[in-house]
Amino acid sequence: MMRHRTRALVSVAVVAIGGTLVGACAPDPPSAIVGLSVKACDTGLESGSGAFVAPGIVLTAAHVVAGATTITIERPGIGSPMVGEIIGFDPINDLAYIKVDDRTTQHLQVATSAAGAGDVGTAYVVRKGTVVSLPIEIARPVNIRTEDIYIDTMTNRPGFELVADIDAGDSGGVVVVDSKVVGIVWARSNLAPDRAYAMDIVAGLASVDEQLATGVIGDDAAGTPIDLARCY
């Protein structure tokens, strides 16, 4: 597996399976979609995507905000940029919650049942300050043998193989099926241009949900305290 040492989307080598992209038409993007600009250990700013999933709470990929010293969240074309703070962080499943002082923003519902093979929907990402709606099809649910975001520990990450035109830098974008968020974009294939991967959040949100409920960013699966200042 190839990994970029930035907040750009990681790449995964896979064998392509049959399937074609779903139709080019996609629904208008919801106002809950955000772009993230992150200043971390690297020089300059890195970017990613996410979405409000509760009042004042943005869901994104953990590797987008790992080591962040400053997180700026912006709804393209709507309002002013907001400062974010990590309140949930799971380096194993690559998911994070970011808190902002804005509880008036509309948010997306999170699915309570997993999507399945053949389901179609939309991935929403922010590219160059613009929300882009990408038609997707779920090729199959998968348990991906991969590393945590720090490349320390091997894990089986529950997710979806997508038929989708995902680019580097799209990490953290939400995958929406039937108007509900079912996944978070975290990787693309480096063999097939129309293949990508998303975390199954129905299976993977337990850790960050517990952190949100307790107000404490707890230990990771290896029993080691999570160091939010650690660089990705």
Judge whether 2 lies within some domain.
no
Residues 138 and 95 in one domain: no
Q: CA 205 to CA 229: how far, in whole Å? A: 22
CATH number at residue 64: 2.40.10.10
Residues 24 and 119 in one domain: yes
Q: CA 167 to CA 188: how far, in whole Å? A: 7
Q: CA 183 to CA 180: how far, in whole Å? A: 9
Q: CA 223 to CA 53: how far, in whole Å? A: 28
- For residue 185, give the H/E element and its range: strand 180-189
Residues 172 and 86 in one domain: no
Q: CA 108 to CA 51: how far, in whole Å? A: 7
Residues 18 and 114 in one domain: yes
Structure tokens of 168? 């580097």
Residues 167 and 82 in one domain: no
Count of domains observed in the chain: 2
**Are the C-beta atoms of 211 and 226 separated by less than 8 Å?**
no
Residues 95 and 143 in one domain: no
Residues 138 and 189 in one domain: yes
Residues 90 and 191 in one domain: no
Judge whether 98 lies within some domain.
yes
The residue range of the domain holding 168 is 10-28+108-203
pTM value is 0.87
**Are the C-beta atoms of 175 and 123 separated by less than 8 Å?**
yes
Residue 44 confidence (pLDDT) = 72
Judge whether 225 lies within some domain.
no
Residues 118 and 196 in one domain: yes
The answer for residues whose C-beta is within 8 angstroms of residue 166's C-beta and 6 or more apart is 9, 123, 125, 134, 173, 185, 188, 196
Judge whether 226 lies within some domain.
no
Residue 104 confidence (pLDDT) = 79
| pLDDT tens-digit profile, the chain (232 residues) | 333 334 445 444 333 223 333 334 455 678 999 999 999 887 678 899 999 999 999 999 999 999 999 999 999 988 899 999 999 999 999 999 999 998 778 899 999 998 999 999 999 999 999 999 999 999 999 998 999 999 988 999 999 999 999 998 899 999 999 999 999 999 998 888 899 999 999 999 999 999 999 888 877 555 567 889 888 7
Judge whether 168 lies within some domain.
yes
Residue 26 confidence (pLDDT) = 52
Residues 49 and 114 in one domain: no
Q: Tokens 């987008």, residue?
A: 64
Residue 9 confidence (pLDDT) = 57
**Are the C-beta atoms of 141 and 34 separated by less than 8 Å?**
no
Residues 153 and 121 in one domain: yes
**Are the C-beta atoms of 162 and 137 separated by less than 8 Å?**
yes
Judge whether 223 lies within some domain.
no
Q: CA 209 to CA 212: how far, in whole Å? A: 5
Residues 127 and 194 in one domain: yes
Give the chain's radius of gyration (CA, Å).
16
Residue 4 confidence (pLDDT) = 35
No. of helices (H) and no. of strands (E), the chain? 3, 14
